A = this chain, B = another copy of it.
């Protein structure tokens, strides 16, 4: 009963960045089709879902599907100095120990009993009319600028394009991309307000060149799907809206 996965350093880092934005411990599923983990933050405002399909790894061998409990901060601390293209190997031989190997270093960390980790959420079914695909770097710039003027933003979409708006006492940021500027856009109407505290953290997982797909409704949770590490890792966030005071 063992797992052996070899992946690129930036892929492991993306997995860990994605999870550590919301939780310090997570259940890791090594499934037939690849790696999967999901978790909800302590305040129940956001969920993160991380997937790496087996085709995107350098090597992936499992005897049988396995769930282990992981202290993600601790591993992130070790793994964050990995170079982008440096290969890293994850090994689980029994439920008590995870080995992380890179270069001449072998790091072994005790696993946590998965039943001691907060129960995993079911992934909610959300009916989200608007679909917006854009470069994550552009999104990041907008969130960074919005953060200078307010602590929340409105995402809205209509036939004229996609908007991110933040309003301070004396200043205002508007980010706007028309259909022509977006990578994909269905022009559906939607409008919800979100906390910048969370969005700022989500942004850290991605950079210019990474794809971001936003699924948006009206006063409804949004789904933000980042395809990172050359598209080899999928990090999805589901974020609850804030109530707009009229």
Instruction: Report yes or no: A175 in contact with B105, Cβ–Cβ below 8 A.
Output: yes
CA distance A219 to B141 in the complex (A): 48
Assess the B142–A105 pair: CB atoms within 8 A: yes
Whether A177 contacts B138 by the Cβ 8 Å rule is: no
The reply to whether the CB of A174 lies closer than 8 angstroms to some CB of chain B is yes
User: Is there contact, CB below 8 Å, between A105 and B145?
Assistant: yes
Please indicate the chain B residues that have their CB under 8 angstroms from the CB of A141 in the complex: 81, 103, 105
A141-B81, A144-B81 given; A107·B74 CB < 8 A: no
Encoded as 1 (CB less than 8 Å from any B CB) or 0, chain A from 56 to 82 comes to 000000000000000100100110010
Docked CA distance A176–B103 (Å): 9
How many copies, total?
A: 3
Interface bin, chain A:
20 to 34
Residue A175 contacts which of B104, B138, B170, B176 (CB distance < 8 angstroms)? B104
Assess the B106–A176 pair: CB atoms within 8 A: yes
Whether B174 lies near A106 (C-beta < 8 A) is yes
- Which residues of B are found within 8 Å of A45, using beta-carbon distances? none
B106 touches A173 (CB 8 A): yes
B110 A170 Cβ-Cβ under 8 A: yes
Is residue A126 contacting chain B, with contact meaning CB distance below 8 A?
A: no
Q: How far is the CA of A204 from the CA of B137 in the complex (A)?
A: 28
A119 close to B (CB within 8 Å): no
Q: How long is the Cα–Cα vector from A148 to B108 in the complex, in angstroms?
A: 12
Nearest residue, chain B, Cβ from A139: B104
28 contacts between A and B (CB under 8 A): A71-B170, A74-B171, A77-B148, A78-B145, A78-B173, A103-B138, A103-B141, A104-B142, A104-B176, A104-B177, A105-B141, A105-B142, A105-B173, A105-B174, A105-B175, A106-B173, A106-B174, A107-B145, A107-B171, A107-B172, A107-B173, A108-B171, A108-B172, A108-B173, A109-B171, A109-B172, A110-B170, A110-B171
Leading 8 A-B pairs by shortest Cβ distance: A109-B171, A110-B170, A108-B172, A106-B174, A104-B177, A105-B175, A104-B175, A107-B173
A81-B144, A108-B171 known, 7 other contacts, Cβ within 8 Å? A77-B148, A103-B141, A104-B175, A106-B175, A106-B176, A107-B172, A107-B174
